[in-house]
Structure 1
């Protein structure tokens, strides 16, 4: 039986942890569900994770077919995905992504205040898409599956890295209140910046791989 590639598992876990950013998404979930019942928060947490999983799996196994239909080479997508992830990393380092997420949360909170008798379904938008299954996560799953997902053990390893991150998100969503009080805004901002630097390095590697593949 083939052994699990620990390096691939680590790379996929770290990449998805950075692009999904469970620590950054959890406060937004807390803000969007503030004032909701515990049952509603639990429902939104589970539903958003399930929807994000379906979306990412669809791109994992159908993304290459889509690229073929559009006549886009994997190397071109690799380079373009690297550029996209690098821009995302810059947003994380300078906290632009956090600002946009907070603006979305404030907008939805204002809409709920206007109609306090209802709790909005936030599972599809903005939690599942684009906060969990956003452009960065979609590009990452397609890049991994096109590169190291040629075997069943490779696919299982990549999906295991994704699954662990989604489970972490679910745990954080279900326990977000106490965790946010313990972590605080300063620690969350520091972790986001560190992850941004790591993502920038991973994005640069994707770009280099795409360019070298196209030239060879």
Structure 2
């Protein structure tokens, strides 16, 4: 079959809301803002690269991991939904993923941790990708769409971090706060849908 546009758009929007590129901007600036231009540019591509590697590994081997642990898709959907709901509540209350302590970042590559993972490649994004791959059901068009969505969201992450300084000057603190609230609302809706799908999966005996 050909490229599945519906799968691509669905997963891309889901990852866009979960990974929240604009929400990563304040975290990025707080961790690398005092470093030189070269260090900032290096972190801007290293963090998405680490996230891409982690997400790809789980996309390829996630179902094998689930099989080894005897975990069904409905259980993963339920756990993912509850996790996303917690993240959504944090966003709605103004407690984004970046409430970490920036101390000691001179000795640690912050592009790996916490930017690459768990800020970008967090449990929510991993769960969304594993579920998408499982639902593809050996459809080559869907697999290509999933791969394209994963690459696309990481390109967006790179571009947002690359121009983070200009972006935050344009949006301002209030603009980023507003975007975080909207993302939280959308993420809460996705979480509720995942939980509903999980319940239906258990009822159907999947």
Common fold by TM > 0.5: yes
Distance 1:51 1:140 in 2: 18
The equivalent position to 1:174 in structure 2, one of 151, 158, 162, is 162
CA 1:119–1:181: 2 relative to 1, 3 Å: farther
CA gap 1:198/1:150 in 2 versus in 1, 3 angstroms? farther
Q: Match for residue 104 of structure 2?
A: 111
* Aligned residue in 2 for 1:115: none
Q: Which residue of 1 aligns with 2:16?
A: 17
Aligned mates of 1:121, 1:175 — CA distance in 2: 20
Greater than 3 Å deviation, 4+ residue runs = none
Long gaps (5+) in structure 1: 113-117
1:215 and 2:203 aligned: yes
Structure 1 position 149, deviation (Å): 5.6
Task: Answer yes or no: is 1:39 the counterpart of 2:38.
Answer: yes
> Which residue matches 1:101?
98
Query: Who is 1:198 aligned against?
Result: 186
Cα distance per residue 1:129-178 (max 9 Å; x no partner): 11110111111111111113632211221222222211111111111111
Q: Is the 8 A contact 1:26 1:169 kept in 2?
A: no
Match of 2:153 in 1: 165
RMSD: 1.6
Secondary structure at 1:81's aligned position in 2?
Answer: helix
Q: CA deviation at 1:119?
A: 6.2
Pair 1:57 & 2:56 matched:
yes
Scaled by the length of structure 1, what TM-score is found?
A: 0.88
In structure 2, C-alpha distance between the alignment counterparts of 1:60 and 1:199, rounded to whole Å: 21
For 1:203 and 1:35, locate their aligned partners in 2 and report how far apart those are by CA, in whole Å: 36
> Can you give the 5+ residue segments of structure 2 that lack an aligned partner in the other structure?
none
Who is 1:8 aligned against?
7
Aligned residue pair count:
204
For residues 169-209 of structure 1, the C-alpha deviation after alignment (integer angstroms, 9 at most, x for no partner) is 11111111111111111111111111111111111111111
Distance 2:142 2:73 in 1: 18
| C-alpha distance in 2 between matches for 1:24 and 1:153 | 31
